[in-house]
Homo-oligomer: A and B are copies of this chain.
Amino acid sequence: MDYYPAPGRNHLFVPGPTNVPEPILRAMNRSNEDHRSPAFPKLSKSVIEDVKQIFGTTAATSFIFPTTGTGAWESALTNVLSPGDKIISFLIGQFSLLWIDQMKRLNFDVDVIESEWGAGADLALLKKKLSADYARSIKAVCIVHNETSTGVTNDLAAVRRILDGARHPALLLVDGVSSIGALDFQMDEWKVDVALTGSQKALSLPTGLGIVCASPRALEAAKTAKSLRVFFDWADYLKFYKLGSIWPYTPSSQMLYGLRASLDLILKEEGLHNVIARHHRLGEATRKAVHAWGLKLCTQKAEWNSDTVTAVVVPSHIDSGDIVKIAWKKYNLSLGVGLNKIAGKVFRIGHLGNLNELQLLGALAGVELALREVGYPVTLGSGVAAAQAHLQRATPLITSRI
């Protein structure tokens, strides 16, 4: 029996953890096995190799840590930087804030470029700072690709152009937790040095894997980086990669079988290109619904619109937390609350992972009901209709069923 049972399925529209589809649940439904058996590397190598496709890289080396996104952050930073190293980081919302907090606690010298919550990274200021850095003292630029708290996607290609324009050698570290596997991500093309994600987002797995890809430059930097690290050290992994036994300590075989299933769903069954198109379609549909409701996005400009999460600003007399509460209490709909500065002011609709059009429309219908419950005079069906109109145009036939 569950703790807070309700009939029917939970409508999970937080921006992660996301829905775990049945093929993944099936793949994970197994007892433990000996990860030191001659057989285990076959699975291990297949996922270590194939996961790179969702990062858009062939050049990088991947590390699959038994950890979360927070651990992946720590692995990214400590493997390429030394205490005291100067880094630039953008503060545009709660998750970039938390990463910056981590950077500071790990004794890096963080130059924070802050934007209003809802705006993207201030790239003009980055340009200025890089140009002024004659001494090349800036060792890394750290950026969150998709800020989950505000629904803002940063333009990584532009970041690369600025770095290249300034001929600046700083490493580029990217948090792709709520983007990789859902949004277009081109690690090699954008010359990202370290990119990372977590299993419970676009991959639609349970929490438990922090996946880090490191470019050849990053691997080189790791050789001299002085930050202390053991659990998160790439060197141990590289040693076991060479030995062929892959894992310096015990991995979760269930999570790896799940990852294999997830990659099969994304790469083989649906196709990465289609996955990204689907996320764009669902993102657009959601934004059209918000507009139909007469509400505003937290995201300040369309260029920053996120296709994985939409943060919606509520009128000032309404507490967005009440919307989230009633949605859960009456309709078994899980939405994201506003965090920190924007607590009470926005609620969030996650639309990433293994998800389809009608699931989203059901959730949007639920948001309308919740809005009405808290006194916002939304026209029932209005957002749904706007989203439907978009989806009808944009949705292709399901490939396997044509």
Contact = CB atoms under 8 A, between A and B. Distances in A.
A83 B233 CA distance: 18
B25 A31 contact: yes
Given A207-B252, A208-B255, A269-B1, A389 B380 contact: yes
B26 A30 contact: yes
Contact of A19 (B32, B231, B362, B369): B32
A226 B61 CA distance: 32
Q: How large is the interface on A (under 10, 10 to 19, 20 to 34, 35 or more residues)?
A: 35 or more
A201 to B, nearest CB: 9
Interface string A32-58: 111111110011000000000000000
B9 A67 contact: no
A382 interface: yes
A358 B362 contact: yes
B365 A207 contact: no
Contacts of A227: 228
A47 to B, nearest CB: 12
Contact of A3 (B7, B10, B39): B39
Contact of A231 (B74, B337, B354, B362): B74
A253 interface: yes
Contact of A381 (B21, B105, B385): B385
Contacts of A254: 206
Interface string A373-402: 100000111101110110110011110111
